[in-house]
């Protein structure tokens, strides 16, 4: 492998990303490998600063968003590819150069699907959501552990975080139960950890809500029934302007809210929802749809008659997912049309 820092003219480059080493393959006009080089992190950008503007492909993975923004700033067009779409282009054995060659070839496919390059604000906002989600999971594990410890001493506590926080102090202060002094101290320390964790969750949530109040697009997204500050900012962080989707159904499909298809021989077979794509955003939309399904005033909203008909012919859980898919389509419209809002259109005044 030639270690040449001077780029040859190439319309397409493929980069295999590593922690310290980056392997680059340049394709000629007939899509055959013309240059294979390896760089360390500090010299990779120097190579693309010298290269003529071209298409640069890489797998969507940790560090790819930062590198994509840097290479875009140098005048190149960057395409991020999901790793599962690159694998079919790897021939025979596997190494870093073969991976880079496969990435470059996949980049040239006209029907390939690409991941949008995120702005720094989107990455920061997504980090806030992931930190909050991780802490919420830690809170659940902490509560379950304390409940299990108490149950080992014959002290059952009811389910639900709110009820648990009321009943645990009573159990710790009740000298008549069988909790040992050591267990009272241990559970008391865990309960103090729970309070500190909830305070941290509250701070991150307030930071996310401040972003939702500040951004115009999130305020417009929050006009959609079932979408609040968390849902609106999660959509903004994951989707951005939504221009990577040609139509509203593509966004719903990317979120895994459309049926999975297994059709052959002219016979269409639709299965359950695919559950592909961004699991976190899908979860928020489904939870929002469930709340909307239960509490929406159907006599004052144009979704009311549609929900009534849906509820009459299918299980409520299926109706909730169908509503989440419709919410995703409305989200696409709000993102793609400047100034667009959700209009409830009261049937009484329609």
Same domain flag for 90 and 145? no
Q: What would the two tokens of residue 116 be?
A: 């949008």
- Residues 143-148: what's their mean pLDDT? 95
Give strand ranges (E) for the chain: 12-16, 21-27, 33-40, 55-59, 77-81, 259-261, 270-273
Same domain flag for 238 and 333? yes
Same domain flag for 310 and 344? yes
User: Which pLDDT does position 131 carry in this prediction?
Assistant: 96
Which one, of 144, 124, 148, lies nearest residue 136 by Cα? 144
Q: How confident is the model at residue 278 (pLDDT cuts 50, 70, 90)?
A: confident
Query: Would 272 be classed as within a structural domain?
Result: yes
- Residues 72-98: what's their mean pLDDT? 89
Identify the domain boundary among 214, 244, 271: 214
- How far is the C-alpha of 153 from the C-alpha of 171, rounded, in Å? 11
Q: How confident is the model at residue 134 (pLDDT cuts 50, 70, 90)?
A: very high
Q: How confident is the model at residue 1 (pLDDT cuts 50, 70, 90)?
A: very low
Please enumerate in sequence order all residues whose Cβ is within 8 A of that of 158, keeping only pairs 6 or more positions apart, or say none.
164, 167
pTM reported for the whole predicted model: 0.84
Query: Would 7 be classed as within a structural domain?
Result: no
- For the chain, the domain total comes to 3
Q: Are 75 and 53 in contact (CB under 8 A)?
A: yes
**Residue 336 belongs to what domain range?**
216-349
Q: For 16-55, how does the pLDDT look when each residue is reduced to its tens digit (9 = 90+)? A: 988 888 999 988 888 888 888 888 888 888 888 888 899 9
Query: Would 5 be classed as within a structural domain?
Result: no
Identify the domain boundary among 107, 142, 159: 107
Among the ranges 6-15, 191-200, 268-277, which has the highest mean pLDDT value? Answer: 191-200
Burial (0-12, 13-18, 19+ Cβ within 10 Å), 342:
buried
- How far is the C-alpha of 323 from the C-alpha of 58, rounded, in Å? 35
Same domain flag for 340 and 244? yes
**pLDDT at residue 349 tops 60:** no
- How far is the C-alpha of 217 from the C-alpha of 233, rounded, in Å? 9
Nearest-10 crossing angle of helices 181-214, 161-173: 150
Same domain flag for 222 and 342? yes
User: Which pLDDT does position 309 carry in this prediction?
Assistant: 85
Q: Are 63 and 41 in contact (CB under 8 A)?
A: no
Query: Would 112 be classed as within a structural domain?
Result: no
- How far is the C-alpha of 252 from the C-alpha of 250, rounded, in Å? 5
Query: Would 114 be classed as within a structural domain?
Result: no
Same domain flag for 125 and 24? no
Average pLDDT of every residue of the chain: 88
């Amino acid at each position: 492998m030639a270690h040449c820092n001077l780029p040859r003219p190439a319309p397409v480059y493929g980069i295999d990303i590593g922690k310290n080493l980056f392997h680059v393959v340049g394709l000629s006009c007939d899509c055959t490998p013309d240059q294979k080089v390896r760089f360390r992190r500090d010299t990779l950008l120097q190579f693309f600063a010298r290269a003529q503007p071209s298409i640069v492909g890489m797998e969507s993975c940790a560090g790819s968003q930062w590198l994509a923004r840097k290479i875009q700033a140098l005048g190149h067009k960057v395409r991020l590819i999901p790793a599962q779409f690159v694998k079919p282009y790897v021939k025979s054995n596997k190494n870093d150069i073969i991976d880079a060659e496969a990435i470059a070839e996949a980049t040239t496919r006209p029907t390939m699907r690409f991941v949008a390059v995120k702005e720094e604000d989107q990455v920061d906002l997504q980090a806030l959501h992931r930190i909050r989600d991780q802490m919420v999971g830690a809170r659940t594990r902490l509560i379950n552990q304390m409940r299990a410890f108490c149950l080992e001493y014959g002290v059952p506590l009811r389910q639900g975080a709110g009820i648990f926080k009321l009943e645990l102090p009573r159990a710790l202060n009740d000298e008549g139960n069988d909790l040992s002094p050591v267990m009272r101290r241990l559970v008391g320390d865990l309960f103090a950890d729970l309070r500190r964790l909830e305070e941290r969750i509250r701070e991150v949530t307030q930071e996310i809500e401040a972003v939702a109040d500040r951004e115009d697009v999130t305020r417009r997204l929050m006009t959609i029934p079932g979408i609040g500050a968390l849902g609106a900012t999660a959509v903004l962080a994951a989707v951005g302007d939504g221009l990577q989707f040609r139509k509203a159904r593509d966004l719903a499909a990317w979120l895994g809210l459309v049926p999975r298809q297994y059709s052959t021989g002219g016979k269409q077979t639709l299965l359950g929802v695919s559950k592909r794509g961004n699991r976190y955003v899908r979860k928020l939309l489904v939870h929002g749809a469930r709340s909307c399904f239960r509490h929406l005033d159907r006599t004052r909203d144009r979704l009311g008659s549609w929900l009534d008909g849906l509820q009459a012919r299918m299980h409520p859980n299926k109706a909730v997912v169908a509503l989440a898919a419709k919410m995703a389509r409305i989200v696409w419209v709000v993102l793609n049309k400047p100034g667009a809002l959700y209009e409830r259109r009261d049937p009484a005044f329609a």
